[in-house]
Amino acid sequence: MTTLGDKHTSSHTDGGAHAGHGHWLMMACCVPMLVIAIVLVATGVASVGFIFVAIMCTAMMAMMMRGMSSGGSDGGEKR
């Protein structure tokens, strides 16, 4: 009999070699934000601190993606 925990762990292993592509796509979503921040600073609309905020947002996204990829390796929750 299959339990809910078995279904949950099997869905994570179905990705195979393509499991990392989602992380790169999420990081690629940060590129337009960085470009817009650079353009706004270059045109004088925003201050240089705006680039710092955009870079920190990208760094936080990278940390979250890294945490998500290594966080579920224990095989489920303990009872």
Q: Answer whether residue 9 is part of any domain.
A: no
Contact in structure between 34 and 61 (CB atoms under 8 Å): no
Q: Is position 76 within any domain?
A: no
Residue 5 has pLDDT above 70, yes or no: no
Tokens of 59: 């760094």
Give a yes or no: residue 46 inside a domain: yes
pLDDT tens digits for range 43-79: 999 999 999 999 999 899 888 888 887 655 555 555 5
Query: 53 vs 9, which has greater pLDDT?
Result: 53
Of 70, 49, 66, 57, which Cα lies nearest the Cα of 29?
57
C-alpha closest to that of 21 among 55, 69, 54: 69
Q: What is the pLDDT of residue 46?
A: 92
Residue 64 lies in a domain: yes
56 occurs within a structural domain: yes
19 inside domain:
no
- Domains: count for the chain: 1
Residue 10 confidence (pLDDT) above 50: no
Q: Which domain holds residue 39?
A: 30-70
57: left (phi over 0), alpha (psi -120 to 50) or beta: alpha
